[in-house]
């Protein structure tokens, strides 16, 4: 079981600078814990600098953070 919350995600600019303000759009009351093989769809939004191509990081403080390209 992996509990998931909005604060687990961070947008990082192409220059490696964290964007600290991001928003969960049309959120359910809470994000559901995830189990192996489960899926959950949510929309995260962030105001970024014009022309930037940021990445989205799940659990940036962990030993093995997961990096995603939000443009894909």
Provide the whole-model pTM: 0.73
55 near 70, Cβ under 8 Å? Answer: yes
CA distance 7 to 13: 17
7 near 57, Cβ under 8 Å? Answer: no
Instruction: Give pLDDT, residue 36.
Output: 86
Residue 32 has pLDDT above 80, yes or no: no
Banded model confidence at residue 28, pLDDT cuts 50, 70, 90: low
């Amino acid at each position: 079981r992996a509990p998931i919350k909005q604060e687990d995600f961070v947008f990082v600019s192409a220059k490696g600078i964290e964007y600290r303000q991001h928003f969960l759009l049309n959120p359910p009351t809470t994000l559901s814990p995830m189990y192996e093989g489960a899926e959950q769809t949510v929309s995260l939004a962030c105001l970024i600098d014009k022309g930037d191509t940021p990445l989205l990081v799940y659990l940036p403080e962990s030993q093995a953070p997961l990096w995603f390209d939000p443009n894909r």
